[in-house]
Amino acid sequence: MKGKRVLTVVFETTKHIPANEVTVSCEESLSSKRPIRGEYNYTKQKWQYDISLPSDADKATLCFHVNEDITMEQNPIVVSDDNLQKVNVFTDQNISFPSYKKRYLHAVENLLNEETDFSRRYVPSNLDTDQKYDVIVIGSGMGGGIVADQLSDSGLSVLVLEAGSVHLPSHIGNTPIPASEVDVRKSVAYDNAPGSVLKKDVHLNLGGRSIYWSDLIPRMNKWDFEQWDKEIVDYLKLGGYIEAERLFRKRTEYNNYEKVFRARLEEKLPDYDVQHLPRSFHQEMSWITKRQGNPDERPTGYFSTAALLLNSVSYPKMKTGGENITINLNHLVTHLEWEGRKVTGVVCQDLINHKERIYRGKVVVLAAGATESPCIALRSKLNDKSDKIGRGLTDHQDAKLDFEIPRKSLSITSIDQAKIFLLPNPDVGNDNKFSCELALNHRFWEPRYDDDDLYEESLGDDDAPIKSTIKFLFPKPLNESNWIKLGEPRPIVNVEPMQNHPSEEQANELKEKVLNFLGVASSEVAKPLKYREESETYHTGGSLRIGEHGTGVVDKHLKFHEYDNLYCCDLSVFPHIPTANPSLTLGALALRLAKHINEVHKSK
């Protein structure tokens, strides 16, 4: 038997959607994954399954199951002959199930909820709703994870409520990863309104998107600070960024090729500040500042709040370990209860035991993300004088060009690499407001190879051109026409396409100078930068913005104006979308918020 064929099966249903998952078993399937899981399309209201069969198969015997252990009432279905070549469609009229206890209808597609031996042992939930915590943190991503860890270290009792489970792709352990997004588990939690272009993926799992983060960690630029509260800016400049960089394990040493390249580029572009680009993952020759012990303990370091929190709960007997922190996985927060100016309860669905639970804390921190946090606020019907909850959902603009450097044009080999930041220097009259990222031989920031043979093969032909990228990032004010609203069965977002091309002439001029310096062919230089129109959830923010009472949802301490014990710590609070990747700024804000909660609420 050689080869295989793929049978496509569709189940059109409005009764059984992802919270009540429908799977298929097939006797003849080549897949080792039993049962066979499909994907649900909310727009077309259907499950679709692609089933691998032997190439000489003459039939497929199918049986549908809901929530794995409820089998359809009909006898197994046999698909044979020519039908194996077709898309086989079934409906609620063809397929029915015995009565079963339906799960909470959350309508989040691709949300993984599981309780494993690992999670039971090392991340045990506390289902005692009579216990009152000092702080409840909703979401364990970049903002929530840092706040929770810092507050538990200071002696406060902290409960983290996370909708997903422990999802451990290779990124957490910094082990070899494929050069693709296969490991990235994206959930779909909202629908785009007509014409909206926000890419529909959020990360509902312990650590949120931070477990996939391995990118740039720059600070905001001077022109970005103009849009922020002065007290926050002073904090960032006078130590906040330094603390966050230490937490993120910012790398401060660079390979020799990059050092020489930077010096040459500085001479060529005197009106730009040419910097090494600080990054956290896949960097050779690095050292960690201001930390005792072996400075190269993680020479290809990473930062993940999943790793941070798992580290804490793994050491419950240490004073800064897990004795003060509880992580309830698979707990999807639906809304908040409140009375007057106090949040009195956090209402969530236990997606493993299929039961609603209400937890209580002196302080509550919303950190579910720029699309999820405003939805929780809207479901809670929170008071908001500004009427800005869910409004202003905005991403920054970028423009890029992928190009190849001919090997003879520059002294560069297949193992040379560089990642450089170019910032306009206003001291010499350069008033452009953008950053430029130049990545030479950037495949070194994709997979990690422990097998030397694979590594050598990945380097390719010594005479092959070097694949590289030049990318520009531009700041963006919040777009008041963008919003997220509640809908059925799930929220609706409207994010307009980014059709403007800021600083297009100036950015293309710099691109030409850089590519000419690299000896790139004139045909490549002539190609214009491609400006992005779609927005991505990763850097989108502004839906619970910082501002004065009446113009913003939260104040400069990230506290909701109308409530004394409710805060937000995710990209929702950004009052302006900065040029830079927002991760470092969010990390610094999380550290600041933890200090504030300690100062204001610890003695209460």
Continuous segment of H or E residues that includes residue 152: helix 142-153
Q: Are residues 358 and 434 in the same domain?
A: no
Same domain flag for 289 and 329: no
Shared domain for 63 and 33, answered yes or no, is yes
CA distance 514 to 401: 12
- Within-domain flag for 102: no
CATH number assigned to the domain comprising residue 349: 3.50.50.60
71, 179: one domain? no
- Given this model, what pLDDT does residue 287 score? 43
What six digits make up the tokens of 252?
């401060």
In a domain, 453, yes or no: no
Which pLDDT value is given to residue 71?
A: 95
**What is the number of structural domains in the chain?**
3
Asked if 390 and 485 touch (Cβ cutoff 8 Å), the reply is: yes
pLDDT score of 449 = 58
pLDDT at 256 (0 to 100): 81
Predicted local confidence at residue 200, as pLDDT: 75
Do 308 and 200 lie in one domain? The reply is yes
Q: What was the pLDDT predicted at 279?
A: 62
Which portions of the chain are predicted below pLDDT 70?
1-3, 32-33, 168-184, 214-215, 251-253, 278-302, 317, 319-321, 408-411, 443-452, 454-456, 458-462, 603-604
**Which pLDDT value is given to residue 436?**
95
Check whether residue 18 and residue 149 sit in a common domain. no
Indicate if 514 and 551 belong to the same structural domain. no
Domain match, 136 and 229 both: yes
Contact 310, 289 (CB under 8 A): no
Report the distance separating Cα 435 and Cα 226, nearest Å. 16
Q: Does residue 374 belong to any structural domain of this protein?
A: yes
Is 161 within the bounds of a domain? yes
Question: Is 353 in the same domain as 276?
Answer: no
Residue position matching structure tokens 């690499």: 417
Sign of the CA dihedral running 302, 304, 310, 315 = positive
342 and 206 both lie in a single domain: yes
Domain boundary among 49, 73, 91: 91
The DSSP element (H or E) to which 333 belongs, if any, is strand 331-339
pLDDT for the residue numbered 286: 44
Q: Are residues 330 and 355 in the same domain?
A: yes
* Residue 510: inside a domain: yes
Q: Tokens standing for 337?
A: 């209860």
Q: What is the pLDDT of residue 445?
A: 57
What CATH number does residue 39 fall under? Answer: 2.60.40
pLDDT given at position 215: 61
Question: At which residue do the structure tokens 């849009």 appear?
Answer: 227
Task: Say if 101 falls within a structural domain.
Answer: no
Same domain, yes or no: 275 and 411: yes
What separation, in Å, do the N-terminal and C-terminal C-alpha atoms of the chain show? 72
What DSSP letter does each residue of 349-416 carry, written as one string?
EETTTTEEEEEEEEEEEE-S-TTHHHHHHHHTT---TT--TTB--B--EEEEEEEEE-GGGSS--TT-
> What pLDDT does residue 547 have?
97
In a domain, 108, yes or no: no
Q: In terms of residue numbers, what domain contains 83? A: 7-91
* Residue 411 belongs to some domain of the structure: yes
pLDDT of res. 250:
77
pTM (two decimals): 0.88
Q: Can you give the pLDDT at residue 170?
A: 52
Q: What is the pLDDT of residues 29-41, one digit of tens each?
A: 987 667 898 888 8
